[in-house]
Structure 1
């Protein structure tokens, strides 16, 4: 499958990717698959307080405000 042409110029794509990385700072929703705890963290590598490393990490920008 061939890549489709980008809708962005290289500079626009870089700005968009930078904006996403900024939105992720301090805004990673973490969900422990072992104890079902949820929390927001700035790291996508944070283990759960229960000690589990089976943690799902979801960038909060993916959730709509409201």
Structure 2
């Protein structure tokens, strides 16, 4: 989609992108593939079991209900 077909003005698009980046920065759902532990963190950290085989999902991707 070209900029001329965008639903947002350039400023609105920048604000939307910043809001998503902020949500990503502080709300990361983490799932350890080794021990199945789940937690929310602000950074991509290893599991307390020592595994670095972690699935990271930005929390904004989950519905609010």
Determine if the TM-score, normalized by the shorter chain, exceeds 0.5. Answer: yes
Q: Give the TM-score band, short-chain normalised.
A: 0.7 to 0.9
TM-score, length-normalised on structure 1?
Answer: 0.80
CA apart distance, 1:33:
0.9
Query: For 1:19, what is the secondary structure of its paired residue?
Result: helix
Distance 2:17 2:33 in 1: 29
Unaligned runs of at least 5 residues, structure 1: none
The count of residues paired between Structure 1 and Structure 2 equals 62
Distance 1:39 1:16 in 2: 26
TM-score, length-normalised on structure 2?
Answer: 0.81
Unaligned runs of at least 5 residues, structure 2: none
More helix by share: 2
> Which residue of structure 1 lines up, in the alignment, with residue 17 of structure 2?
17
Q: Say what the alpha-carbon RMSD is for the aligned residues.
A: 1.3
